[in-house]
A and B are shown apart, each in its own frame.
Chain A
Amino acid sequence: MLLDQAPTIAAVGVDLMAEEIEAQAIDVTRVLWRPPLSGTEAALATIAADPRVADANSEAGRRLTSSRPKLVGIARAGDVLGLERGQFLHAGPPIDWASASGPLRGALMGAMIYEGLAETVEEAERLGPTITLDPCHSRHAAGPMAGVISASMPVFVLHDEVFGATTYGTLNEGLGKVLRMGAYGPEVIDRLRWLQTGLAPLLAATLEHHGPVDLTAIMAQAVQMGDECHNRNRAATSLFIREIVADLVELDVPSADIAAGLRFINSNDHFMLNLGMAAGKAASDAARDIPGSSMVVIMARNGTEFGIQTAGTGDTWFTAPCDVPEGLYLSGFGPEDANPDIGDSAIMETVGLGGFAMAAAPAIVRFVGGQVSDAVESTEKMYEITVAEHPLYQIPGLNFRGTPVGIDATLVARTGILPVINTGIAGKEPGIGQVGAGLVSPRPSLFFDAVKSLAARVGSADAS
């Protein structure tokens, strides 16, 4: 092979070596190599020398991009997520009340009031230390911002026919003062009750009439319509309405109820986000537990800590403090009002959307502070740290190239390029709600820890 074709050459290392080949009138593709994260050299070599890693990562990438979750119905969270009264799910890695940030406490307090566990905010706050908390991710769910799910809440039920996963997500409450941003006022609780008694039965009946909704297909179209499906879901939400509207109007319910449901969804560009996250969770679940794989399957934040998991390290969370996103603030708010990063919505970046699909969403680049060229550059950079290109999420502006998908922790450690996450910003005090939106990245130490742990497993008991 080496001798049967004209050599085309790439060079990495000392510039002189490339120059001496170029002096022979031969083109050389140079690599702009930089040392890996300090202290990861040996671990990176151990992982690279593991004969499983190439196949493991390509299999992880294949599974992540070939799940086809469909929305099949709506259920009561307590029935499908095993939640009792007094038990709550939240975004991000595990946390207790004492460590919970303002918006997470606010959302939990609101949920306690909603569940009738507390009459007042003060009572809810007093009960805080007594409630049971588990990550959404531990129950096949993903929750935006605070991500709080309690037993009485309605949840979307998704089923992936390819890999068999069933995943869950709450109904999006809209913008402004909402539970997921840490608000707990009466209007928040009232809206939650209407979601439970008004919208959820309406959508459940519609889905029964319509049959399963292919969410991947909706997001694939939305990416070509200017959504990156994390901070911009306008196209995806519109497509979702279009998909179900005929079945909705055929329901034997008062037209005022149908109109109220449609007005609510239509007034909230992010209605589709929660469905997209549950779909992302299905893709992520499909790619879990592949020995030898260094691909990231979860990125999630609880407002205090950022946590990641990889396909090759089972249920182990690697965590580090969350940072405050950089971005734009709603009028009257500034960085001093912002809570550190929060939410499971980074599942979108984990499956090749959000910050990874920025080049598809020129309409939002100014919102997150930049120009169109920055969006393209952002997506281009993510190809350096991902194992695959998404076969369905294609970016028109990049000649329909698939979005970069499947973050490889070793590539992050090698290049120092961190995943870019588009995110909302919650107020740091309980009860405030959303204060802005922007960009954030996990800290390098997460990938340092993941790489060390992956290397420690090479040749150990889980090798097979």
Chain B
Amino acid sequence: MASSSVALRHGLYRDSVTLMQISRTVGELAGVTASLVAMATPLNLDLLPRLGFEPVPGAGSDDLLVAIGADDDASLAAALARLDELFAAREVTTDAAAQPARTTRTALARSGANLVVISLPGPNALVESMDALHAGADVMLFSDNVSVEQEVALKEEAHRRGLLVMGPDCGTAIVGGVGLCFANVMRPGEVGLVAASGTGAQQVCALLDAAGVGVSAVLGTGGRDLSRAVGARSSLDAMAMLDKHEGTSLVVMISKPPPADVAERVAAAAGALTTPSVVGFLGRGRDDLTALTDKVLAALGRPALHPPEWIAPLPANFRGGAVRGLYSGGTLCDEAMVVTCDLLGPIHSNIPLDPSWALPASLTAPGHLMIDFGDDQLTQGRPHPMIDWTLRMERFEAEVADPTCGVLLLDVVLGYGSHRAPAGVLAPQVRVATENGVAVVVSLIGTSGDPQGLDSTALELQAAGASVYLSNAAAARAAAELAKGSA
């Protein structure tokens, strides 16, 4: 590159979402060819050579790394000046009269809060979580990359103190009517949901809402809670809490299938509750989330739901071909693969159902494939795909350009935390896809109260040419039928 600058700035810290925004703003300036504005973690330092920058020696993880490449010196200077403005603008907002708390410990001592939402980098999460537990506060731990030993230590400490750790890698919870991280707006109700899967919980919420059913609470546990090492510690504690809770008349537990001994322990605990319960382990040969929701409705004495759908006509020039699933929710991706592989055979994926179906690092393969863009490997150093659609839309365009792709399948997750106007991002690309003869199928995970608007989002996508389903299983089935019929 013609002109570049790589530097460390000590004592300047911003969270990853904020840095991503700054990095992108600078990267889009005229004459800028590459930009990396990130904390100087080993991972981000490794990116330097790949982006064509020289390595920087002596970086610590509390340093901010600024690397900008530009066509010429003037563009570089302009980019650096803009960067300073962006950082200065952020400084002002933190310059409050009262000194903000610097640790969770101090924040809790001042506010008396009883619930802490933690979304720090994984290696820093335990320390702040322990602050919360020592102060008697429950923890919603969104962070991933927390070691299993640390997860066990946190959950043991929580159990000792009668508290709950939701997470790590917990994306969804609703407590006292407040949605945490990625949560849909739910009416108050009698179902208490314990979920080891965030998007799984959101799908159940969406379907329950469509059936007019509300929740007393949604307690996430983190995807690893039912592993043998963690032993369902949070799931068991959460079920016990809901059992004692007066407002909960049905306890629902959902997870991927755990090891047999853990499954037995969870089933035994559920059976011992005084409150009725429904336990659903998702996977091949088992109920999908939609079927599971019907069991919940049956347990409540309600009729089965016909999930809403907004069907668009097939593109007149439908070209047929493989299904390409581009997912932001891991459980939804998994469910889509379970549903479609029975009809279509092997589905290649970065989270494959069968190890022999694993995608190579390029994430490309002929035939059917589904990618979980929320997988840890794809979220390192960037926000979750439910917030940031960049990677998914890049792939969407690539698939439209690939003549072997006939059907595009996507989840669009609504609610707090998610992108505020996903239809605005997706609809124009849906138009391009359908004009090129690609069918687009969307599983729309949302409730009537979500800030994005469930109906308006569905109608906008439908008008653009996508068939939209509230049930992910139904969407996957429809996509598979299209691909099968055209293959």
A residues adjacent to B (C-beta < 8 A): 1-18, 20-21, 23-24, 26, 28-39, 41-42, 44-45, 48-49, 51, 54, 377, 380-381, 383-384, 410-411, 414-417
Contact = CB atoms under 8 A, between A and B. Distances in A.
A15 B176 CA distance: 21
A319 B118 CA distance: 35
A33 B157 CA distance: 23
A31 B107 contact: yes
Contact of B128 (A3, A20, A33, A38): A33
Contacts of A15: 15, 17-18
A39 B58 CA distance: 12
Contacts of A38: 60-63
A197 to B, nearest CB: 52
A85 B176 CA distance: 73
Contacts of B107: 10, 12, 29-31
Contact of B61 (A23, A26, A35): A35
Contacts of B119: 11-14, 17
B102 A384 contact: yes
Contact of A12 (B118, B157, B248): B118
B332 interface: no
A414 B123 CA distance: 13
Given A13-B118, A21-B117, 14 more contacts: A3-B175, A3-B241, A13-B15, A17-B117, A17-B142, A29-B111, A31-B107, A33-B128, A38-B63, A39-B61, A48-B130, A384-B106, A411-B103, A414-B102
Interface stretch (B93-101, B296-304, B457-465): B93-101
Contacts of B245: 3-4
A24 B450 CA distance: 11
Contacts of A13: 15, 117-120, 142-143
Contacts of B116: 9-12
Nearest to B237: A2
B317 interface: no
B180 interface: yes
B168 to A, nearest CB: 12
The 10 closest A-B pairs by CB, nearest first: A38-B60, A13-B119, A35-B62, A29-B111, A32-B100, A10-B113, A49-B153, A48-B130, A14-B119, A20-B416
Contact of A3 (B104, B127, B217): B217
B137 interface: yes
Contacts of A51: 157
Contacts of B44: none
Contacts of A28: 117
A367 to B, nearest CB: 24
Contacts of B102: 31-34, 384, 414-415, 417
A54 B416 contact: no
Interface in B27-51: 39
A383 B106 contact: yes
A54 B242 CA distance: 29
Contacts of B17: 14-16
Contact of B138 (A2, A24, A48): A2
A23 B451 contact: yes
Contacts of A29: 101, 107-108, 110-111, 113
Contacts of B137: 10
A20 B134 contact: no
Interface in B134-187: 134, 137-138, 142-143, 149-150, 153-154, 157, 162-164, 175-176, 178-181
Interface in B184-234: 216-217, 219
Given A12-B104, A384-B103, A2 B163 contact: yes
Nearest to A411: B103
B112 interface: yes
Given A15-B18, A16-B17, A24-B416, A6 B62 contact: no
B65 to A, nearest CB: 12
A45 B131 CA distance: 11
B123 A381 contact: no
B13 A8 contact: no
B124 interface: yes
B123 A8 contact: no
B117 A18 contact: yes
B5 interface: no
Given A9-B115, A30-B100, A414-B103, A2 B180 contact: no
Interface in B269-313: none
Contacts of B105: 411
B138 A12 contact: no
B62 A33 contact: no
Given A5-B114, A21-B117, A48-B127, A10 B164 contact: no
A2 B150 contact: no
B23 to A, nearest CB: 15
Contacts of B416: 20-21, 23-24
Interface in B409-465: 416-417, 451
B179 A24 contact: yes
B101 A32 contact: yes
A36 B39 CA distance: 13
B63 to A, nearest CB: 7
10 contacts: A7-B114, A8-B115, A9-B117, A16-B387, A20-B179, A42-B123, A45-B126, A381-B99, A415-B103, A416-B62
Contacts of B118: 11-13
B194 to A, nearest CB: 12
Contacts of B242: 3
Contact of A10 (B111, B126, B451): B111
Nearest to A18: B117
Contacts of A18: 117
A17 B123 contact: no
Interface string B327-354: 0000000000000000000000000000
B32 to A, nearest CB: 25
Nearest to A417: B102
Given A12-B116, A29-B107, A48 B126 contact: yes
